[in-house]
Structure 1
């Protein structure tokens, strides 16, 4: 018989059975690389089966034929399963086997010890898997029964091999092994190339040895955490504390940040490479504490310097590092102050240019604001990853320098006024305006500034006045652009904010239809060469002020004028037309000039038309003559005559002791055929701006009163201070009400008996139903 396959022992002879099994176990544990034949495997399995089902304890039992390892043997219910002796002998064998391995480890140190440990671990666990299969029958029956009965010291065979390694090998060598592992990792941190698979194998063994004492089927990380993770994290903390303190003392802050960033990345990779994932949080937290939190102050101190020189890459690095330690708040505060200062400085730089270029003032101002915003918005996006806190800091800073800067010293309403004028320059016909595609981008930029404007009611008032002029004078560059801008304002402030603006466009469409109907109605009637059209606009929607002077309509257009009035009154009985001659305009064709073959066309205001048409009767008038014939007030007549004299359409003749006369210049010459005489008068523009601000103040008082009544009607009773807070809250999206103005409005409403003070409580108000 082959000596490598000894005969099966008698099933009732424990000594013979164990000698038989021990021989096979020895082969598995020490010579597995030579291979294990299937027959040898089956003989070992059968020897265990025969002993466990022997009839020594139950003589009346007749065993059934042996089946293979996969067979179901649960029918042998009469068997008094034997297994305790085999389990005990196996446990003792493993102790002896591991003692030999342990003693052999004393011959090795450092990296050689790790190689010895990992080689034996891998060999041992491979052999253990074979043993587990060989002892399957014992596991399925005797071991299972013992575990079911609550014996905590009995394990399945594979678990037994791990427990034996833990108690007889690991606990004796773990300190030396761990010292070797830490030394190897430190060498790697110092830049040496090391055999990382050694660390990986040690880590895997520490993890595998984690067994729940109350339930051996449940793995734990207790061994790994206590014997590997804790000393590893502690060693990492000591290593990086020493390195960082030394590096900071010898290098710049920016260089240190690069070093810290690289070290943190290395530790992230280290976890992926050979550590258990559960170590990630504690390791990274410890590294962040040592590398970032402990050096937070020097980084915060360097932040301003990086901002001053726009060091985008270093700013991003600092943000990334400090976001790990929740140290961003000082950066946000510093960033806000820096942006605020940069914005104010930018406006100061262009303030002189603004004062010298009044016509370009809005564009210069808005461009300066946008340039600062774009620069720091890009910084927030790229360097600070669009983090909400930095976005809020940018918004606070922009709101501050947009509303309170050198240009706004006299009034916080200056920003919205200039922004509205900038919009007007964009949306008015001009060769300098951007193309349609570019215009949309510029309008989006306008909305960026608009977002920060506090007095949005001021912008609305100026914008609506300028829109009205563009529509009335047909100077709007594009209806699509106008609609786009209104849509943006609607999206930002709601329907109520833009309802009147949209109504203006509706009125323009209705006026066009009305003119078409009028021309169709009067197509056969004589009109003395007058081409007449009119805009009928709703008083409630259009911010147009009435004329400040009376005016006699020239007889050349009087007939057509009366004809339209009659047409409109027949169509809309009960409506009253208020004529705004100061906003009207016309064209006069001339044929009196000697130097022009075809004559000139004068583009004039209605008042200029009334003046010039007088010269169909005579070529020279005094100021009083023209005042009597036109019925214009002296101030208006004087300003209009000044324009005509400056354009040399009229000549001013002054003689001693005689009234000055305005004579028609028969020698008038111009390179242009169409001459624009209807130009704005700066004094009138200034008066209009002042009037607009006055109406804004009146509107604000009405808005505050309406808000107070609305709040009190809902709440019935309210403390004075709470009412003030709610009014500010409700109106803050339009403007920031002043507390003193709110108090005045409360007093007005008390006088009007909308609200009253409660008796005995001067600080409480109640609604008067």
Structure 2
């Protein structure tokens, strides 16, 4: 701490005043570590104040007592401020001071130069802040007035010290300093441990020297960008270009990607550690160009190998690198889509024979799901769920789901098999999954359903199978059925599932109706028939009418007529259409000699009609049974064939089922390990016919849907060109099925014929709506 201070000079003596001030400034600039007493600080401040407010230019002025920093100086407003002389002397002092530092810097090189530069920079800026405070009175008055009057070369004292450093120190040594900085950073890139604080200090000085010449109160990054950032980024480009080319020539692509990833991470950290944030964009952009963009070809070429080998980490690394550059990912998305499509086609080809031979939908759906699951995980993990790869996966899946070996004959095969798989899951079976597992499987089904183009085909098959489950009481779980319908509703809207939901409503109404009927008949004696009926709305249920007549057995006639009367009394005007081909029942058989308790036969209504004839006689010819049941030949042959095969009936020697001369005798020696015997088995030929009929129904429905869409569009648009009309029809119906252009043209012709629309005269391919 300085203990003595020279006496204050006369206020009007410039030479004495400056000598006094220079002595103090010299102490601050060179020996600040020794400390500066408050008295010395106040003397310096007062010396400046006294000189600036001296009255040598204004003899009539009477000096007021000396004032310290912050004192009220309102009484001195008339004083002639003499700050220009002090300001110019300070400028010259700083120039001489910095010239000495600059001269001494020539004795240092590389890292030593950086230490010298940063040491003097820190010492200089600390001292400058003290000098700034000492000259505060000058700043508040003379400097402010000069700046207000537009003097561009006058700054507050601290800014003056920075301008001086820039002009007399920085501009002379910056090339040597930057060369040293670049060497230091290169050594660090080469793996050496370096003193990063030196670079950070240099950066801070370059940033601080960015002064706005037009407004000294503002700063810019011009000095930093021009003298640090530009050469640094250029040097980085040269360094990484040489390194990457050498590394690629000596290593594999996967190793290069690891190297590039590490280098980019290092540069990100370098900015955070000791560079200005503004350098981030130009530096990383340059590194991305050199390390990634210049080597895209080798990475694109390697992509297929990584896909083939399922190298998730390397795929993720490639994605991370190529996502940094414009259009870097587009070739990958295209190749990924093609790869997934081929994987899907190959998976289906392996199981196609099993699916076609056994109609096994589970094998087919599992094959689809396995491919989707694998590549969906890849998109999520390796490609981070990026929208472009999600779209590529969806396009590929849509292709192999709708166009594969199993679908060769028809694109409708996928929705049919998917509906069959749903049926196998929702139908009572010992193989049914647990409730929680079932929900997961149903979600997986919806994944495949999303890609199915012919959603109307799925709807038709699903509704037919649901109807069978409900009619036959074979649904495994009402909750599971409701869950699946909710999923379909969410995917395709209310209209898609409205009929399915109506089926469940009808089932509830039928239960109430049965309960009422049983309550009505419970009082009657000798009722030997346990009878229940489902009354279902024709519009909601996809059930075909019977193809044959049928004489109701007299054992059932009484109950049958009683229900008809009960229903007609309850709902007059409604007509009941009986679907005997969907009905079933159980018969108690007490005629078998080899069974003490008898058997229970589970039969179709037609089989029941045949077997009940044997209450009267034990042997009938084919024609006898045809006459008594009134079944047509094909249906009768099918029912008899099952009974003969099960050995409930025996066929006369030398004849075949359906032969008019054949005789069918009741087998009193019938024997079975089971007490309840299922005879109501589906006939494969019937199943095949049903599938064909379903597809035929889909085609008819599509024609109506296309016609309705055309009318709807034309009613809205009034006039429309052929091409635009076709495009709009496809857009409106694509969520249910993909309309074919020739089919749309046929529907347009039908509507022209029906006069819903007409051609516009004089305009080619233009249609108008006829109100």
TM (norm. structure 2) is: 0.98
Instruction: Report deviation, 1:762.
Output: 3.9
Answer whether contact 1:9 1:17 (CA < 8 A) is retained.
yes
State how 1:128-207 maps to structure 2 within 5 Å. 128-207=128-207
Residues 658/276 of structure 1: CA separation in 2 closer, same or farther (3 Å cut)? closer
For the aligned residues, what is the CA RMSD?
1.1
User: Which residue number in structure 1 is paired with residue 336 of structure 2?
Assistant: 335
Deviations 1:390-419 (A, max 9, x none): 000000000000000000000000000000
Deviations 1:571-618 (A, max 9, x none): 111111110000001111111112222111111110111011111111
Instruction: Give yes or no for the alignment of 1:455 onto 2:457.
Output: no
User: Which residue number in structure 1 is paired with residue 353 of structure 2?
Assistant: 352
Instruction: Report deviation, 1:356.
Output: 4.3
Runs of at least 4 residues of structure 1 off by over 4 A?
Answer: 655-658
User: Which residue number in structure 1 is paired with residue 500 of structure 2?
Assistant: 501
Answer whether contact 1:528 1:556 (CA < 8 A) is retained.
no
Unaligned runs of 5+ in 2: none
Deviations 1:83-142 (A, max 9, x none): 111000000000000000000000000000000000000000000010011111111111
Distance 1:673 1:3 in 2: 122
Distance 1:592 1:72 in 2: 130
Deviations 1:493-525 (A, max 9, x none): 111100000000000001001111111112212
State how 1:302-341 maps to structure 2 within 5 Å. 302-326=302-326, 327-341=328-342
Instruction: Give yes or no for the alignment of 1:292 onto 2:292.
Output: yes
Distance 1:583 1:527 in 2: 27
Deviations 1:467-512 (A, max 9, x none): 0000000000000110110011011111110000000000000100
Instruction: Report deviation, 1:671.
Output: 1.3
Deviations 1:358-404 (A, max 9, x none): 3xx10000000000000000000000000000000000000000000
User: Which residue number in structure 2 is paired with residue 101 of structure 1?
Assistant: 101
SS of match in other structure, 2:75? coil
Instruction: Report deviation, 1:353.
Output: 2.7
Instruction: Report deviation, 1:61.
Output: 1.3
Instruction: Report deviation, 1:655.
Output: 5.2
User: Which residue number in structure 2 is paired with residue 543 of structure 1?
Assistant: 542
Instruction: Report deviation, 1:659.
Output: 2.6
Residues 436/241 of structure 1: CA separation in 2 closer, same or farther (3 Å cut)? same
Residues 7/524 of structure 1: CA separation in 2 closer, same or farther (3 Å cut)? same
State how 1:260-271 maps to structure 2 within 5 Å. 260-271=260-271
Instruction: Report deviation, 1:3.
Output: 7.6
State how 1:50-89 maps to structure 2 within 5 Å. 50-89=50-89
User: Which residue number in structure 1 is paired with residue 726 of structure 2?
Assistant: 724
SS of match in other structure, 2:650? strand
Answer whether contact 2:114 2:198 (CA < 8 A) is retained.
yes
Instruction: Give yes or no for the alignment of 1:625 onto 2:624.
Output: yes
User: Which residue number in structure 2 is paired with residue 662 of structure 1?
Assistant: 664
State how 1:513-552 maps to structure 2 within 5 Å. 513-526=512-525, 528-552=527-551
SS of match in other structure, 1:735? coil
Residues 75/434 of structure 1: CA separation in 2 closer, same or farther (3 Å cut)? farther
Distance 2:63 2:604 in 1: 126
SS of match in other structure, 2:277? coil
Instruction: Report deviation, 1:57.
Output: 1.0
Q: Equivalent of 1:701, from 696, 700, 703?
A: 703
Distance 1:696 1:19 in 2: 108
Instruction: Report deviation, 1:673.
Output: 1.1
SS of match in other structure, 2:482? helix
Distance 2:55 2:244 in 1: 73
SS of match in other structure, 1:651? strand
Distance 1:532 1:392 in 2: 56
Instruction: Give yes or no for the alignment of 1:489 onto 2:488.
Output: yes
Instruction: Report deviation, 1:4.
Output: 3.3
User: Which residue number in structure 2 is paired with residue 736 of structure 1?
Assistant: 738
User: Which residue number in structure 2 is paired with residue 605 of structure 1?
Assistant: 604
Instruction: Give yes or no for the alignment of 1:553 onto 2:555.
Output: no
Deviations 1:157-178 (A, max 9, x none): 0000000000000000000000
Answer whether contact 2:623 2:660 (CA < 8 A) is retained.
no
Distance 1:82 1:665 in 2: 138
Deviations 1:209-260 (A, max 9, x none): 0000000100100000000000000000000001001111110000000000
Instruction: Report deviation, 1:651.
Output: 1.3
State how 1:21-36 maps to structure 2 within 5 Å. 21-36=21-36
State how 1:727-766 maps to structure 2 within 5 Å. 727-766=729-768
Instruction: Report deviation, 1:71.
Output: 2.1
Residues 527/270 of structure 1: CA separation in 2 closer, same or farther (3 Å cut)? farther
User: Which residue number in structure 2 is paired with residue 681 of structure 1?
Assistant: 683
SS of match in other structure, 1:175? helix
Deviations 1:529-556 (A, max 9, x none): 1000000000000000011111011110
Distance 1:763 1:382 in 2: 51
Residues 658/149 of structure 1: CA separation in 2 closer, same or farther (3 Å cut)? closer
Unaligned runs of 5+ in 1: none
Instruction: Report deviation, 1:527.
Output: 5.5
User: Which residue number in structure 2 is paired with residue 282 of structure 1?
Assistant: 282
Instruction: Report deviation, 1:357.
Output: 3.2
Distance 2:503 2:11 in 1: 109
Instruction: Report deviation, 1:60.
Output: 1.4
TM (norm. structure 1) is: 0.99
SS of match in other structure, 1:534? coil
State how 1:101-120 maps to structure 2 within 5 Å. 101-120=101-120
Instruction: Give yes or no for the alignment of 1:566 onto 2:568.
Output: no
Answer whether contact 1:527 1:560 (CA < 8 A) is retained.
no
Distance 2:420 2:63 in 1: 107
Answer whether contact 1:350 1:364 (CA < 8 A) is retained.
yes
